[in-house]
Structure 1
Amino acid sequence: MPTETNSTHSADPATPVTPTPTPVTVLGLGAMGQALAGAFLKAGHPTTIWNRSAGKGEDLVARGATRAASAAEAVRAGELVLVCVVDYDASQAILEPLAADLSGRVLVNVTSDSPERARAAAKWAAGHGIAYLDGAVMIPTVMVGTPEALLFYSGDEAAYKKHEALLKSLGGQSAYVGADHGLAAVYDLSMLDFFWTSMAGLVHGYALAAKDGVPASALAPFLKAHIALLGLVVDETAQEIDSGEYQGAEANLAVELAGVEHILHAAERRGLDVSVLRGVRDVAKRAVDLGHGADSWTATVEGVRNPGA
């Protein structure tokens, strides 16, 4: 398995770009596929669309998109072909018969799946002479095409550089993160890991307050300020994890673990589900047992890395 971890980000993502009109094809017209095709159209790119089932994309056609009668016809119309479907089983089922048509073109797959599936798809593409980029869309459909929209790309760097302005039509914060085709998915999963566990904590915090009669709306303003604190520790935590040095002089893990235990017991007394909190406690306790009691909270990463310890 590739071990590349260095990221190669493009120039300032906020820099305005004016892409040359480029014929593009979008395969897959779910909500996200339609949003991506719409962004290409808005940026002035001749856009051909195709979907496995009929009845989608009428608005895009009204805006100037060309509906292809077949996937092969759609691919032949585009210099860059973007596929956005439910999973890699679906994308490969569409792409396998199109290998000859895709040869010599740039294929961008923004279908969500695992790094392993992305690497397997890249191997297939390389075997057919297809320049391949794997991608991840990190924003909801309403943000597609905006300067704030974040998308990750990994794989063929030359293909990315050639079409960087075109791809930034989909999002001004688009970033190329490395030659390993699996890296876009790694970034995607890591960021969503943080997002969904944070959302779980948000919901659980509201539920805990509600048990004592505090409505979520009353807690919300204070949580906004609390969440802002996370932004202050992101870089420091990353540095500690990369260096393996967890400075706990100001607040050590053993003390923090005691605080987690207090929250856990309070939630249990109020009849709440505590499976997530128990997981947090167990990971922290494992890190303490591994000798990190005097280190910072970042040392819980050792509990995550050593689940059998």
Structure 2
Amino acid sequence: MGDNHTSVSVLGLGLMGQALAAAFLKAGHATTVWNRSADKADGLVKDGAVLAAKPADAVAASDLVIVCVSTYDVVHDVIGSLGDALRGKTVVNLTTGSSEQARQTAEWAQKHGAKYLDGAIMITPPGIGAETSVLFYAGDQAVFDAHEPVLKLLGGGTTYLGTDHGKPALFDVSLLGLMWGALNSFLHGVAIVETGGVKAQEFLPWAHMWLDAIKMFTADYAAQIDAGDEKFPANDATLETHLGALKHLVEESEALGVDTELPKYSEALMEGIIAQGHAKNSYASVVKAYRRPNQ
């Protein structure tokens, strides 16, 4: 799956860092690891990894350096003092952070002569290495192309997003927001049907069916938003129709003693956009509620 002559160092051995290093070892790559608590490397060392005594040793050992720690502040604590020792190395930062932190770290790496990719992991540690697992990367495309075969060891859904180092972080938080929004709505629905004696697993297949239907709505809305003309044609239902149905959800929740904060939040969004003259437009017009005024 990759060039086995590429040596890899992994800095940071939390559950995710351990999974990353294990994937490289499994594929036969010479793998060096480092962690502040060295005992976290015990299993990896048994499998053939080399434990570095300090970050500088780990960086010196490999062509490709993967950093996966808790925060960007820790990234700079770990490799910030290495300076020119990073020159010519490829640093792939898979630490979770903001888009601005990613861009600033890319500038810092460039000043020290390092090639830099910033990334985001869209899977939990057990999913590392799976064909369906998605990891996003951004930075110089030549750098990504050179290391893509090795990076694909971490997930078959390895995806290059372009030269903006901040884009993986934007995708990361947006997709997580989508996940939490869907999960909260599912759990709110479970709380409602439970009042009628319905088990969550009985409700589940219908929730799955409806999520598939929602995909069709989002495809239409994305096209409307990207058109940029803010016409938002109501191909499925007008916003005022959505609001009428949502009010039933609020009323039913109140009557059943189920928390109403989530549907009332949506109700307020719709009412605000309708007040701007979008009653006859599609639900896509609600995007205006989330945008900054000058966007």
- Short-chain TM bin: over 0.9
Match of 1:259 in 2: 245
Which of 219, 233, 236 is the aligned partner of 1:250?
236
Matched position secondary structure for 2:154: coil
Q: Provide, for residues 228-248 of structure 1, a one-character-per-residue CA deviation record: whole Å limited to 9, x for no partner.
A: 212323322211111134120
Match of 1:90 in 2: 74
Q: Provide, for residues 160-201 of structure 1, a one-character-per-residue CA deviation record: whole Å limited to 9, x for no partner.
A: 111111111111110110111101111111111111111111
Q: Which has the higher contact order (CA 8 A, sep 6+)?
A: 1
TM-score (norm 1): 0.90
CA distance in 2, matches of 1:142, 1:231: 27
Which of 260, 277, 282 is the aligned partner of 1:296?
282
**Match status 1:150 vs 2:134:** yes
Match of 1:280 in 2: 266
Once structures 1 and 2 are overlaid, which stretch shifts more, 239-248 or 75-84? 239-248
Q: Which amino acid counterpart does residue 190 of structure 2 have in structure 1? A: Y
1:229-240 matched pairs, under 5 angstroms: 229-240=213-224
Compare the two structures and name the one with the higher helix fraction: 2
User: For residues 73 and 250 of structure 1, do their structure 2 counterparts lie closer, same or farther at Cα, with a shift above 3 Å needed?
Assistant: closer
Match of 1:79 in 2: 63
CA distance in 2, matches of 1:57, 1:229: 46
TM-score (norm 2): 0.94
Q: Provide, for residues 245-296 of structure 1, a one-character-per-residue CA deviation record: whole Å limited to 9, x for no partner.
A: 4120431110111111110121122222222211111111111111111111
Matched position secondary structure for 1:174: strand
Once structures 1 and 2 are overlaid, which stretch shifts more, 101-110 or 238-247? 238-247
Match of 1:136 in 2: 120
Matched position secondary structure for 1:181: coil
Which of 180, 189, 210 is the aligned partner of 1:196?
180
Q: Which amino acid counterpart does residue 276 of structure 1 have in structure 2? A: L
Match of 1:40 in 2: 24
Match of 1:9 in 2: none
Alignment check: 8 A CA contact 1:283 1:304 kept: no
**Match status 1:69 vs 2:53:** yes
Q: Which amino acid counterpart does residue 116 of structure 1 have in structure 2? A: E
1:50-61 matched pairs, under 5 angstroms: 50-61=34-45
How many residue pairs end up in the alignment?
Answer: 292
Identical positions, percent: 40
Alignment check: 8 A CA contact 1:287 1:299 kept: yes
Instruction: Please provide the CA RMSD for this pair.
Output: 1.6
Once structures 1 and 2 are overlaid, which stretch shifts more, 65-74 or 91-100? 91-100
Matched position secondary structure for 1:29: coil
Once structures 1 and 2 are overlaid, which stretch shifts more, 232-241 or 153-162? 232-241
CA distance in 1, matches of 2:281, 2:160: 35
Match of 2:152 in 1: 168
CA distance in 2, matches of 1:170, 1:136: 12
Match of 1:3 in 2: none
Any unmatched runs of 5+ in structure 2? none
CA distance in 1, matches of 2:238, 2:188: 24
Any unmatched runs of 5+ in structure 1? 1-16
CA distance in 2, matches of 1:99, 1:266: 61
Match of 2:195 in 1: 211
Alignment check: 8 A CA contact 2:72 2:101 kept: yes
CA distance in 2, matches of 1:54, 1:145: 24
User: For residues 19 and 274 of structure 1, do their structure 2 counterparts lie closer, same or farther at Cα, with a shift above 3 Å needed?
Assistant: farther
CA distance in 1, matches of 2:214, 2:60: 47
